Each structure stands twice: as C-alpha cells, then as structure tokens.
Structure 1
Amino acid sequence: MTITPNDWKLEGHGRMTDQQRKMLNAICGDLAAQLSWHGNRLSKDDWRHMLAGTMLGWRMMPAIDRGEGAAGFIMLGGSSLNLSRSQAADAITVAVQIGDDPKSQHIDAAPVRWSDTVLRGLGFNPNDFQAAA
C-alpha cells in the first residue's frame, strides 16, 4: 500500500495509524542511513526514540547504581507507539524538516535523499527525482 500525505497528516488524540507508523519508520531509516546527529550515528530506532521523546516530553533521572555509585543521569521519553495521531504527524514533519535542512540543527551535512516510500508519502512521484540517463 502506498502512503499519501492524507494518510499521515492527521489530527486527533487517537493512537497513531499504521500508515503513520510506516511513514515514520521509513523517514527514520533514511535519516539513520544518511545523517550523523552531532557526530553520533543513530540507528533507525534511535531516531524514532528521539522523535517520540521530543513529542512526548523528556524526563531526566539518576541512572541505576550498579554498586559503583550512580553512573550519571538518563533521559526517558516515550515509545513512538504512544504517539497520538497529531503527535505522529508532528514527529513526521519535524523529521522531514531535519532531513531537508540539517543545517537548521547545526549538522554539517547535505539534505537527505528520501526513499521512494517517503517521497510518495510526501506527495511526490519518485520518478521525478531520478537522474537523467
């Protein structure tokens, strides 16, 4: 099934839809393959967790003490599965903005070349982005 902008640009408090989840996963995969976050290579899951935590709000707390004293602090966010439809749409929008303009986040990188899934989800025909032979 092809994802369209109408599939993920949704408002509401209900849980995010399967189409939103697929769009978010595709975008996070493209970001993971092409960008380093301030020198740190993030996995697709890392990107999804960072976006979900940003949308759901972060909490800072002491790390677990493993007998050597607390090892600093950890940040807890939330699972992307807990995003509402509106929050999922916002997370997708923020992720696309980061990929389209990494310099806005002080990342020295070229814009992301989106996969066909993401391009279709943004309302573009991937064939329009193919290099002329």
Structure 2
Amino acid sequence: MTEFALRHPADITRLIGFLHSTSLETPKVIVIKDEKRPDVMNRKMWAMLRDIANQVEWYGQKLSDEDWKHVFSASVEKQRAVPGLDGGFVVLGQSTRKQSAKWFSDLFEVMSAFGAEHGVRWTQTDRWGGRY
C-alpha cells in the first residue's frame, strides 16, 4: 500500500506522477480522506481537559480528564444518551482516536467557550504562542 500526504500543490504533482507510472494489471483503489489529528492536537486536548478537571466542579462532582473528554466529545457529536441496563444513562459515543483535525477544531471551540464561561485559567501555552 502506498500513502501520500497532500499538504501543498507540489504533493498533487508528485501523486499524479506516481499514478502515471502505476501498473493497472490488477485493479487499484484510491481513497482520499482528511488526515487524522496531528499529535499536537492530542497534547492540546489533554492539557485543556486537565485544566478543566482541576478547576471545574460539575453538578457537585469533580470529573476526571477522561470524564470531561466524554462530555465534550458528546457535545460536539450531538450524541444521544439511553438508559443503562442497571440504571443511569449511557452516552452512545465515538472514540476521539479517529477524528479529523476539523473535528478537533470544533472540540477546542466548545472547550474554550466552556472554559470562558466557568473561569478556567489555561496553564499551557499553545504552539502559536497564546493561551488555550
């Protein structure tokens, strides 16, 4: 399997050259999809979740970083909750592992707005030099 990352116009030219030299003796499948999140997005997400977990009490409870991840990803996805087998509710969710950079951008917007509404002080500086 051959993969190409398309980030610049020159990458498209390189891909076209590769396609012209590809044998079609056996059928080929070409898939174009958004790149999964860069590692910097993962680090930013966990730093923001840690700040929220340390500073916000939610309906009388302190939630873990992981709990907050579920709360925010459910918000971005507009997910449903169903009654659990033994009481409570279960959010029908998705893993953040397979989400795109665009999805993470939406997640950061929701987290930033929530943080502003709840007085969260961000402890990490993002890679562009500002606070989260």
**TM-score, length of structure 1 as denominator length:** 0.63
Give the CA RMSD over aligned residues: 2.2
Which runs of structure 1 show a deviation greater than 6 angstroms over 4 or more consecutive aligned residues?
A: none
* TM-aligned CA deviation for residue 41 of structure 1: 1.3
Unaligned segments of structure 1, at least 5 residues: 1-11, 65-69, 103-110, 126-133
Specify which of 100, 103, 120 is matched with residue 112 of structure 1: 120
Q: How many residues align?
A: 99
Cα deviation, 1:39-87, whole Å, max 9, x if unaligned, reads 22111111111111222331333422xxxxx525422222221322111
Kindly indicate whether structure 1 or structure 2 has the higher relative contact order, using CA contacts under 8 Å at least 6 residues apart: 1
Larger Rg belongs to: 2
Q: How far apart are the structure 2 equivalents of 1:121 and 1:114?
A: 14
**What is the identity percentage for the equivalent residue pairs of Structure 1 and Structure 2?**
27
1:51 pairs, out of 72, 93, 99, with: 72
Q: TM-score under structure 2 normalisation? A: 0.63
Q: How does 1:1-133 map to 2 (within 5 A)?
A: 13-64=34-85, 70-102=86-118, 111-115=119-123, 117=124, 119-121=125-127, 123-124=129-130
Return the letter of the residue paired with 1:114: W
Work out whether residues 54 and 77 of structure 1, in 8 Å CA contact, stay in contact via their aligned partners in 2: no
Q: Which runs of 5+ in 2 are unaligned?
A: 1-32
